[in-house]
Chains A and B, each alone.
Chain A
Amino acid sequence: MGFDLKINGVVRNLDVPPDMPVLWILRDLLGLTGTKYGCGVAQCGACTVHLDGEPVRSCLLTVSAAAGHDITTIEAIAQTEAGAKVQQAWLDEEVIQCGYCQSGQIMAATALLQHIPNPTDADIDEAMAGNICRCGTYVRIRKAIRKAATHET
């Protein structure tokens, strides 16, 4: 058997079990380790990728469900306008501490700005509540999203 997965614009054929989560395909078969394992049960958001532009938890996204859709990971998010702005804001606000959750945070924030270019604080709360940061960088994540939203392109 095989599945065609389109990841960061490249289609790859993978001979894997149909219930295999995309997280482990990215990390262990394709070497795309920017997407992190944190909980395995969609509680922490560290494994967030985009599926047709929507933020999803790759730890529960099976290869059979993902086949035929566009997957974007942290490694390619700079190629999107919102992603590049978010990454720059993350650096400018010095958001990051240990950084383990930040791939997921950046993916969630990018999806937010792609849907709502000028989010309210409530929008930010709602979009980001699924992503745990154990270092507690939340104050700066909020600030960086506001900053990314106001950047001119």
Chain B
Amino acid sequence: MKPRKNKVQKGFLPSSRRALLGAAVSAGSGFLLSAFLPGLPLLKASKAQDAATGAIFSPNAFIRIDAQGKVTFIIRYAEMGQGIYTGISMLLAEELDLELDQVFLEAAPADLAYVDSVAGEEETGGSSSTRDSWIPLREAGAAARMMLIAAAAHHWGVTEDTCQARNGRVFHRDSPRSLSYGELAEAAAHQAVPVKVSLKSPADFKLIGTNPRRLDTKAKIDGSARFGIDVQITGMKIGRIMACPVKGGRLTGYDRIAALAVLGVVDVITLPDAIAVIGNHMWAAIKGLEAANPRWDYGSNAVTSTNDIVARMKKASEQSGVQAVKNGNAEAALKQADIRIDAVYELPFLAHAALEPINTTLHIRQDGADVWVGTQVPGRARQEVADATGLPPESISVHNHLIGGGFGRRLDSNSIGQAARFAKQVPYPVKLIWTREEDITQDQFRPFYYDRISAGLTRDGAISGWHHRTTGSAVTARWYPEGMQKGLDPDAVEGAAQTPYALPDQLVEFVRDEPDAVTTLWWRGVGPTHNVFVVESMIDELAHQAGHDPLAFRKKLAAHQPRALKVLEEAAKQSGWGKVLPPGHGMGIALHYSFQTWAATVLEVAVEQSGQIRLVHVHTAVDCGPVVFPDGVVAQIQGGLIFGLTMALYNEITLKDGRVEQTNFHNYRMMRLNEAPDISVHIVPDPDAEIGGIGEVGTVAAAPALANALFAATGKRLRRIPFAKQFGGEKA
């Protein structure tokens, strides 16, 4: 879950691809297939899947029907809890006129046919899966339906307009005849793929907008679901990896004999900066690595602490940066303001801490390789293995698996490359696992951000000058260098450059300062999780400073945004904004537009005498345009809020002597059930709006809503995450 090319561009300058989509959508019915997948018409998968699976009708890469009528959907997005297997299946099944219980699902392999044309690669991230599939995958289903109908019409010698598809059969209107999709599959395969398809009118939707049972959950209640870490291959060994605890360090020695003496250990293999002990089971690998007692040259980062990193960022932030937005004259307007606030906001490095630790299973042979892994980027995963082994990519099969939590972590494939460099040293299949300690300390972290912000206000409550300068790492520069815009990382300013508010004199800058001792990566909510905290906190500061109600203040500043007003009003109504609260309680509000979705969140908090923070209730009103799977939207907001509130209360990664100080859940703390607030999600219908993303929306709202609620409860303004320790009430 992170932005990349498309989302970066969406937030900023509409990409040509996005613009093309928009134009085509507004053109009405009779869509031209190729218009939606420029250069990538609805391809068939390039591999000989049909022969392997017995499919006789595979009109495109997403749908396969065999002679027995078994329908398989090939899902190009990774299922990591966000419900995308269900949502995508709903899009395909809606137009193919199938019930979801008639469908089998398969994870897509690494193949050009599964490239998300907006993302530009095969990728699950940026809250974009449903957005980027809303039209193309319905078209894929509709094209298949039209070919099945054409086959039936031809068979009966009737016209296609007298035939109708329903629940996996084609019916003839004027006679009692009907044929199943299985019976039609062979003939349908001989029909031409239609150049133009007609999508259903929303009034005719049978699945979209309903709440079917999720397709991935039944196997998750009885232990039968297979995550990457659960892979079992005949002859497979299991290894534990440990890399140098300091970035840039090298392995200098280890006790090979001691490691091999541990019962069940079969091999000890090394890379310049890491060691793996391989055994018949993970316990042997764990004990073997302890016995190996690796020794390191920690290198030049061995003296780095978080304080050094932040001090350097603070200094860097004193200079001007690359301008992201310059409207009017922010400095002049600030000088004229009646009220002025100058503030520094600080956001920590963050680990992803998905519950399934990093793991990769590989079998590398002379003629090719198999890789069993859960990844958000199957194409990158394959390339990593190719680079590590010298094998041609087409000889490498990536078998994607369910992911036990992604949150951006599985957008990076470096751990797969590391595993491949180990696995190529052994002839057998090997599952390589990072322990929890390795998963946290060797994570690629959400960047630390040091934000300076100055804002002014006139006596009548209008903003007079807004200057926001953010300093930190450019994730885009490493992960997708082509996305950099003349030194500007669009992600670093997303949510700051464009806000819901009228800011006539606005200057937003980015100062790039790369910490040497850590690698940075996308983290759920990406740019908006960072910037919306700063912007929504500052707006709240201004409202209180001016003596205005924070809700009324926002409504006035966002008066030109009707969708913003609707979600604000809904959240206020549902939460009882303005009601009298018990002593020690406070309500905070946050508004944002991220991933093409509007959301307003009201959070009620209680702060006890001891400083203990209790989350009472959260209401989020969300307008994401057309809704495919309403309960999926609710679940993502609920979970996204918990994810963001966990971070806001407890989380920070710190370094001492180049090492990450947090190692496991006892010192990188997760919210638990007894701390979780009630959460109510209110979907504001807006079916004619552009479709929005949802996976990261809740996370974005969490920290500002909580910070503003804590201010309302206590009068204490929190400009630094995490919050709990600043109240002295953090309990283990």
A interface list, Cβ under 8 A from B: 16-17, 20-21, 24-25, 27-29, 31-41, 43-44, 46, 73-75, 77-78, 87, 90-91, 94-103, 106, 124-126, 128-142
- The 8 A CB mask of B381-416 against A (1 = contact, 0 = none) is 000000000000000000000111111000000000
A29-B282 Cα distance, complex, nearest whole Å: 10
Q: Are A94 and B214 in contact (CB under 8 A)?
A: yes
Q: Are B223 and A139 in contact (CB under 8 A)?
A: no
Known interface pairs A78-B222, A96-B220. Does A129 touch B672 (Cβ–Cβ under 8 Å)? Answer: yes
Contacts of A97 in B (CB 8 A): 81-83, 635, 639
Could you tell me how many residues of chain B have their Cβ less than 8 Å away from some Cβ of chain A?
Answer: 64
Task: Please tell me which stretch of B34-42, B89-97, B311-319, B640-648 contacts chain A, meaning at least 4 of its Cβ atoms lie within 8 angstroms of it.
Answer: B640-648
Asked if B730 is at the interface of the complex by the 8 Å CB criterion, the answer is no
Known: A34-B224, A36-B229, A132-B355. 8 other contacts (CB 8 A): A24-B283, A33-B223, A39-B436, A77-B222, A96-B81, A98-B80, A103-B223, A138-B676
Q: Are B664 and A125 in contact (CB under 8 A)?
A: no
Contacts of B283 in A (CB 8 A): 16-17, 20-21, 24, 28
Query: Nearest-CB distance from A56 to chain B (Å)?
Result: 17
A78-B666 Cα distance, complex, nearest whole Å: 32
Q: Are A28 and B672 in contact (CB under 8 A)?
A: no
The one of A44, A99, A138 that contacts B665, using a Cβ cutoff of 8 Å: A44
Contacts of A99 in B (CB 8 A): 81, 216-217, 220, 225, 402, 404
Q: Are A36 and B638 in contact (CB under 8 A)?
A: no
Q: Show 20 A/B contacts (Cβ-Cβ < 8 Å), sorted by A.
A: A33-B232, A34-B225, A36-B229, A77-B222, A87-B222, A91-B218, A96-B81, A96-B216, A98-B80, A98-B81, A101-B355, A124-B673, A131-B672, A133-B355, A134-B405, A134-B670, A136-B639, A137-B638, A138-B676, A140-B635
A41-B217 Cα distance, complex, nearest whole Å: 27
B interface list, Cβ under 8 A from A: 80-83, 211, 213-214, 216-218, 220-227, 229-230, 232, 238, 263-264, 280-283, 286-287, 353-357, 402-407, 433, 435-436, 631, 635, 638-643, 646, 664-666, 670-674, 676, 678-679
Contacts of B281 in A (CB 8 A): 20, 24-25, 28-29
Contacts of A27 in B (CB 8 A): 230, 282
Contacts of A94 in B (CB 8 A): 211, 213-214, 217, 631, 635
Query: Nearest-CB distance from A91 to chain B (Å)?
Result: 6
Residue in chain A with minimal CB distance to B407: A134
Contacts of A39 in B (CB 8 A): 436, 664-665
Q: Are A139 and B676 in contact (CB under 8 A)?
A: yes
Known interface pairs A129-B672, A132-B355. Does A139 touch B678 (Cβ–Cβ under 8 Å)? Answer: yes
Known interface pairs A97-B639, A138-B676. Does A36 touch B81 (Cβ–Cβ under 8 Å)? Answer: no
Q: Are A100 and B673 in contact (CB under 8 A)?
A: no
> Which secondary structure dominates where chain B touches chain A?
loop
Query: Nearest-CB distance from A57 to chain B (Å)?
Result: 12
Of A16, A43, A97, A103, most buried by chain B (CB within 10 Å of CB) is A97
Query: Nearest-CB distance from A43 to chain B (Å)?
Result: 4
Report the number of A-B residue pairs with Cβ-Cβ less than 8 Å: 183
The one of B221, B264, B665 that contacts A91, using a Cβ cutoff of 8 Å: B221
The one of B224, B230, B404, B642 that contacts A136, using a Cβ cutoff of 8 Å: B642
A95-B643 Cα distance, complex, nearest whole Å: 16
Query: Nearest-CB distance from A141 to chain B (Å)?
Result: 6
Contacts of B355 in A (CB 8 A): 36, 38, 44, 46, 98, 100-101, 132-134
Residue in chain B with minimal CB distance to A126: B674
Minimum-distance CB pairs A-B, first 9: A34-B223, A136-B642, A100-B404, A98-B81, A99-B220, A97-B81, A28-B281, A125-B674, A138-B676
A99-B220 Cα distance, complex, nearest whole Å: 6
Query: Nearest-CB distance from A81 to chain B (Å)?
Result: 15
Query: Nearest-CB distance from A82 to chain B (Å)?
Result: 14
Residue in chain B with minimal CB distance to A103: B223
Known interface pairs A100-B227, A100-B355. Does A17 touch B263 (Cβ–Cβ under 8 Å)? Answer: yes
Q: Are A28 and B238 in contact (CB under 8 A)?
A: yes
Contacts of A135 in B (CB 8 A): 81, 405, 639, 642-643
Residue in chain A with minimal CB distance to B225: A99
A21-B672 Cα distance, complex, nearest whole Å: 25
Query: Nearest-CB distance from A144 to chain B (Å)?
Result: 11
Q: Are A136 and B83 in contact (CB under 8 A)?
A: no
A38-B405 Cα distance, complex, nearest whole Å: 12
Query: Nearest-CB distance from B403 to chain A (Å)?
Result: 7
Residue in chain B with minimal CB distance to A39: B436
Q: Are B676 and A136 in contact (CB under 8 A)?
A: yes
